[in-house]
Amino acid sequence: MNPELRHALGERLGKPLRCARGLGGGDINDAYQVTLADGSQLFVKTHQNPPLGMYEAEARGLRWLADAGAIRTPSVIALSDARPAFLALELITPAKRAAGFDETLGRSLAALHAFGAPSFGLDHDNFIGRLAQSNEVADDWASFYWTSRLEPQLRLAVDGGSIDAATRSGFEALQRVLPDRVGAAEPPSRLHGDLWGGNLHVDDAGQPALIDPAVYGGHREIDLAMMRLFGGFGERVFAAYSEALPLSPGAERRVALYQLYPLLVHVNLFGGSYVGSVKRALSGCA
């Protein structure tokens, strides 16, 4: 940890730092386990030049999830979006998964979704990874999913040369039938928004905890579709979820539709190796 960040943290926390140990595993941020002079510990993520407002948006997202009281998230301790930018969070020390962990996770996600959201969208924009994520409120889910999710990422991928004209035409065809494909009307759910296995942690009691959200109000099946996209979640999670909050008919047919958004995000974050997956998912929506 560089001296400037060390000083800024100490100033913001009102306590000097004893030591900081670098942690690996992040694609975007540098991360540290920090021990303060009084022996307390916290988790700190930092970036040399983050998008403006990125850490503030993440902090708001963590609090928004915590408000549901359904699943643990780390408490926000301090943040700065000015250089040196950082987000200081409660350190969640992992333990062995408790018995029934998967079932607890499934029921907790169902409770989070059922807690609901005021609208499709959110009262502020945020980020998914380092990409801006618009949350402009829409009257219905199909409109929101196209206007604030698929279309911005598609445009970015087309402008970047990753998506060809034929694939773009396929998305335009999907737009025309999207209201008939999104499933039965449901009230907006409180979504994590970036729910892959790396954003699931085990806390010190062996219970589930979620980190790194990209929150908004939306259709709950998009969280579940992303969970299936990259693996890391057992079938007992989905079974417990469905028992607590049954899915509407045809949910399995909509998995590809709701994987399109995270796949486009991955094209724009990590490159063209995900284009084939986008095309396959798009074909699955036909």
Active site residues: 194
Residues 43, 34: Cα–Cα separation, whole Å: 6
CA Rg value for the chain? 20
Q: Match 């724009």 to its residue by tokens.
A: 268
Whether the CB-CB separation of 35 and 99 falls below 8 Å is answered with no
Contacts of 135 (CB under 8 A, 6+ apart): 121, 122, 123, 124, 125, 126, 148, 216
CA-based nearest residue to 216, from 232, 200, 195: 195
